[in-house]
């Protein structure tokens, strides 16, 4: 009897376990499903963060090469290639410069925010929504930039930046840079002596031993990324009506003093397409456009001008004699679109070579910008640590003694930046 009662008791316990298991099993399975779903969310979050990092990095890499217009498309393409589903989640939110965070307003940074709506599975039992939203944010920024005073834009030329003869060049606080892929993108020949913080080339540097002194890096950077043209988007001023009165004032004899105002000098009228400047000329602030003419600055000339921009349009050339006394500076006003630009060469003048020579008192303050033309720099720029001279040309050759200062903070010169890297900073 006692045995039967005990058996009945055990039978009753087994039945209760079955009932409890029957009741709890859906809960157990549900929580297991939710756990798996949460792991899927976490995995998707990591994928989304990776896509955001790739997008921000790709956008900043374009900025590092001066391709600001390509930064946003590059960021979006990188996000998609990294698994971001635009069809489901919508377009990425790409901000250049960032709109939030520690780098808000920084033009060297790219902010990317990605969101995605994942379909709910087991969690739908507990939530009255069909999707769960995840998001990821990343900020990348260019870093390690160095200012350059000399930049050759040509992408393949031998000796794109060349030092020849017995030239001596000192660059105070800045670098020499070349975009050429040639093995001798920066080339040293003869008894040259160049002192600069660093030298960087997309290609190679040849003949530097004994000629190049570096004050801020151990060796030249070779195989560097291309360096951006800081004035690539700046439109060249268009020539106006020919100002023959201005042309005559520029052609006065040695010792004659003239003060002139902005205008366009062209090939019509006396002198044709050749202009020789021999006198003492003071240039009032503004833009002076040489339209299809060759400008010769003789040794007797004395040129003074502050807040001036000289434009060389339609294959105009300038040749400055070594004895000329030059004191020219670019506009400094933030309101002037040509702030910091002293010389502006035609972007289509690929067969033109400009010669810039001067005396020990010569002072070019601002950017000498000849994006399609070659420049032979043989003059002496006044050795002043507070000066600012930036030379950008298709190719550059130095054959004389020169000094380039880099104190451009008060002038508004858009500096060339070399040796940039890209970092994920947020």
Assess contact for 338 and 309: CB atoms under 8 A.
yes
- Structural domain of 69: 2-143
The pLDDT, as a whole number, for residue 414 is 72
Q: What is the Cα–Cα distance from 214 to 146, expressed in whole angstroms?
A: 14
88/112 same-domain check: yes
The pLDDT, as a whole number, for residue 30 is 56
Assess contact for 258 and 251: CB atoms under 8 A.
no
Q: What is the mean pLDDT of the chain?
A: 85
101/184 same-domain check: no
Angle at 362 between CA 358 and CA 367, to 5 degrees: 100
Of 139, 134, 98, 104, nearest in space to 116 by CA: 134
Token reading at 314: 């339609």
108/221 same-domain check: no
Assess contact for 145 and 418: CB atoms under 8 A.
yes
Beta bridge partners, 404, equal: 171
Continuous H helices in 165-272: 244-250
| 252 pLDDT tier (thresholds 50, 70, 90) | very high
Q: What is the Cα–Cα distance from 217 to 306, expressed in whole angstroms?
A: 35
pLDDT in tens, 129-179: 667 788 899 999 887 777 888 999 999 999 999 998 777 888 888 899 999
46/181 same-domain check: no
The pLDDT, as a whole number, for residue 325 is 86
Assess whether pLDDT exceeds 80 at residue 302: yes
| Residue 100 DSSP class | S
| 309 pLDDT tier (thresholds 50, 70, 90) | very high
194/341 same-domain check: yes
Q: How many domains does the structure of the chain reveal?
A: 2
238 or 44, which is more confident: 238
Least trusted range by pLDDT, from 121-130, 142-151, 244-253, 346-355: 121-130
| 290 pLDDT tier (thresholds 50, 70, 90) | very high
Assess whether pLDDT exceeds 70 at residue 94: yes
Q: What is the Cα–Cα distance from 362 to 382, expressed in whole angstroms?
A: 5
The pLDDT, as a whole number, for residue 6 is 47
pLDDT in tens, 356-384: 986 667 788 999 999 999 999 886 665 56
| 22 pLDDT tier (thresholds 50, 70, 90) | low
265/392 same-domain check: yes
57/68 same-domain check: yes
The pLDDT, as a whole number, for residue 17 is 58
Q: What is the Cα–Cα distance from 76 to 351, expressed in whole angstroms?
A: 39
| 424 pLDDT tier (thresholds 50, 70, 90) | confident
Q: Which residues touch 360 (CB under 8 Å, ≥6 apart)? A: 380, 382
Q: What is the Cα–Cα distance from 156 to 204, expressed in whole angstroms?
A: 11
Assess whether pLDDT exceeds 60 at residue 7: no
Angle at 407 between CA 402 and CA 411, to 5 degrees: 110
pLDDT in tens, 201-233: 999 999 998 899 999 888 888 888 888 888 999
176/118 same-domain check: no
Q: What is the Cα–Cα distance from 306 to 314, expressed in whole angstroms?
A: 25
183/316 same-domain check: yes
105/137 same-domain check: yes
Of 296, 262, 298, nearest in space to 279 by CA: 298
- Domain boundary residue among 94, 115, 143? 143
Q: Which stretches does DSSP call E strand in 74-108?
A: 93-95
305/400 same-domain check: yes
The pLDDT, as a whole number, for residue 217 is 84
Q: What is the Cα–Cα distance from 34 to 329, expressed in whole angstroms?
A: 70
- Domain boundary residue among 113, 143, 173? 143
The pLDDT, as a whole number, for residue 16 is 61
Assess whether pLDDT exceeds 80 at residue 417: no
152/61 same-domain check: no
Assess contact for 63 and 108: CB atoms under 8 A.
yes
- Domain boundary residue among 109, 143, 177? 143
């Amino acid at each position: 009897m006692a045995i039967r009662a005990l058996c009945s008791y055990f039978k009753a316990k087994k039945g209760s376990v079955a009932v409890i298991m029957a009741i709890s099993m859906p809960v157990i399975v549900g929580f297991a499903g939710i756990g798996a779903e949460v792991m899927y969310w976490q995995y998707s979050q990591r994928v989304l963060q990776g896509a955001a990092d790739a997008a921000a990095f790709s956008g900043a890499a374009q900025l590092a090469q001066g391709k600001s217009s390509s930064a946003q498309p590059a960021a979006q393409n990188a996000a998609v290639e990294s698994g971001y589903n635009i069809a489901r989640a919508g377009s990425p939110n790409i901000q250049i410069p960032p709109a939030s965070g520690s780098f808000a307003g920084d033009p060297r940074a790219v902010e990317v925010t990605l969101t995605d709506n994942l379909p709910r599975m087991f969690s739908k039992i507990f939530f009255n929504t069909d999707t769960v939203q995840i998001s990821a944010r990343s900020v990348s920024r260019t870093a390690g930039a160095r200012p350059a005073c000399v930049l050759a834009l040509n992408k393949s030329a031998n000796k794109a930046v060349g030092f020849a003869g017995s030239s001596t060049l000192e660059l105070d606080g800045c670098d020499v840079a070349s975009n050429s892929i040639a093995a001798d993108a920066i080339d040293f020949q003869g008894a040259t002596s160049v002192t600069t913080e660093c030298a960087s080339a997309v290609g190679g540097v040849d003949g530097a031993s004994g000629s190049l002194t570096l004050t801020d890096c151990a060796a030249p950077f070779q195989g560097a990324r291309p360096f951006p043209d800081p004035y690539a988007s700046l439109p060249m001023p268009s020539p106006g009506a020919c100002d023959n009165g201005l042309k005559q004032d520029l052609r006065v004899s040695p010792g004659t003093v003239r003060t002139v105002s902005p205008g366009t000098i062209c090939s019509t009228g006396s002198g044709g397409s050749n202009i020789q400047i021999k006198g003492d000329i003071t240039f009032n602030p503004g833009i002076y456009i040489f339209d299809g003419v060759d400008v010769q600055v003789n040794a007797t000339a004395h040129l003074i001008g502050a807040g001036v921009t000289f434009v060389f349009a339609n294959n105009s050339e300038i040749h400055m004699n070594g004895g000329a006394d030059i004191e020219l500076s670019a506009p400094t006003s933030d309101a002037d679109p040509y702030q910091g630009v002293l010389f502006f060469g035609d972007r289509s003048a690929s067969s033109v070579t400009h010669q810039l020579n001067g005396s020990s008192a010569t002072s070019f303050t601002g950017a000498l910008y000849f994006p399609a033309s070659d420049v032979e720099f043989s003059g002496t720029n006044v050795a002043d640590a507070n000066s600012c001279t930036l030379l950008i040309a298709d190719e550059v050759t130095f054959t004389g003694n020169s000094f380039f200062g880099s104190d451009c903070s008060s002038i508004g010169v858009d500096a060339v930046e070399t040796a940039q890297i890209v970092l994920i900073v947020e």
